[in-house]
Amino acid sequence: MFYFVAGNHFKHAINVGNNYLKKYKKPIINFAIEDLNNSKNVCKEYKNLIYNIPENNFSIAIKLSSFNFDKILINNIIDMCKEKNIKLFIDAENNFYNKKYQDITTDLMLTHNSYNKIIYKTYQMYRRDSLNVFKQDLTLCNENNIFFCSKLVRGAYWNTENKEGHLFINKEDTDNSYNKAIIEINNSKQSKKTNIILATHNKFSIQLGLFINNCNNNNIFEFAHLQGMYENYYNNISKNNNVHVYIPYGPYNKMIPYLTRRLYENMDILFP
C-alpha cells in the first residue's frame, strides 16, 4: 500500500515530485488526510507546503472538507498559490457534501480564473448528474470569459454510495458519461480557454484523448495518474503529452480513508 504514497512529510513528497519531473511528468502534491476537526492545522500544513514547493511545474490538490469548507482558509491558500503561479486542484467530495462542493468550486472558478488557470474543479463522471453539471459550468465560464479548468475522474465513493440512486450502476454508463465529456470539450467553441485533465487509468479514455489531441495538432487534453498506478503506460506518452501524477503524503494512520477509496476505485488495475 505504501508504494502509492510519498511519505509522511511534505519534503518526502517534493523529493518524489522532483523524481517524476525527470520522467517528464508534472507533480500534484496532496496532503491526503480527511479530518474536519483539524482545518486550521491542515491549512498550516498547506502553507508550509506551498512555501517550500518549487514553482516550476508543481501543483497542489486539496479537499474542501479538510478545511471544513471555511472560505477564508481556502482563499488564503488560493492567494498563496496565485503568488507562486501554482495550480490548485480541488478534489471531489462524497454525496453528502456534493451540493456545497459544487457551489463553492464554481464560485472559486468564477472569482480566480479570469486571467490565469488556477482553480481546477473535479467532476465525478459516475454521477448521473455530472455530465449536465459539466456542460453548465463550461457554458457559464464561456459566458463570463474565464478559463474552464477541470479534472475528470470516474468517481471515488462507489463502495459507500452505490445504493443511493445518484450513481450509474453499470460501468458502461459511467464510461459513456466520461467519454461524452471528452467529446463535448472537443466540440466546444471555448476549447482555447479550457484546460481539461483526464485523470484516468482507463485505456480507452486515454486513447480517445490522445486521438483528439493528434487530430487537432494541439494538446486539448492533459492526463493524470495516481502515484504507483499505470506508471509504465503513462511513461510512454509523457514526452509528447502533458502528464500529471498525484502524489499523496501525510501521517499514515490518518491516510486510511484516502487509501481505502483508492484501493476500491482501482481494484481492476491492482488485481487484473
Per-chain mean pLDDT for the chain? 91
Q: What's the pLDDT at 158?
A: 87
Q: What's the pLDDT at 269?
A: 42
What's the average model confidence in pLDDT over 77-88?
Answer: 96
258-272 per-position pLDDT tens digit: 777 666 655 454 433
What residues does 197 pair with on adjacent strands? 151, 222
> Which of 10, 116, 102, 14 lies closest to 64 in space, CA to CA?
102
Task: Give the span between the Cα atoms of 135 and 177, in whole angstroms.
Answer: 12
Q: What's the pLDDT at 159?
A: 84
Cell 470569459, residue? 145
159-183 per-position pLDDT tens digit: 889 999 999 999 999 999 999 999 9
Asked whether the predicted pLDDT for residue 133 surpasses 90, the reply is: yes
Asked whether the predicted pLDDT for residue 94 surpasses 60, the reply is: yes
Q: What's the pLDDT at 140?
A: 94
Task: Give the span between the Cα atoms of 106 and 119, in whole angstroms.
Answer: 9
Task: Give the span between the Cα atoms of 28 and 87, in whole angstroms.
Answer: 9
CA 51-225-27 angle, to 5 degrees, is 20
Question: Quick one: cell of 48?
Answer: 508550509
96-115 per-position pLDDT tens digit: 999 999 999 999 999 999 99
CA 69-5-170 angle, to 5 degrees, is 70
| Domains of the chain, first to last | 2-270 (3.20.20.220)
184-242 per-position pLDDT tens digit: 998 886 667 899 999 999 999 999 999 999 988 778 899 999 999 889 999 999 999 99
Backbone angles phi, psi at 11, to 5 degrees: -65, -35
> Which of 90, 83, 84, 87 lies closest to 69 in space, CA to CA?
90
Q: What 8-state DSSP symbol labels residue 153?
A: E
| pLDDT cut 90: percent of the chain above it | 78
Q: What's the pLDDT at 219?
A: 81
Task: Give the span between the Cα atoms of 129 and 272, in whole angstroms.
Answer: 30
> Which of 144, 223, 145, 226 lies closest to 182 in space, CA to CA?
223
**pTM (2 decimals)?**
0.94
Task: Give the span between the Cα atoms of 184 and 178, in whole angstroms.
Answer: 10
| pLDDT cut 70: percent of the chain above it | 94
Asked whether the predicted pLDDT for residue 52 surpasses 70, the reply is: yes
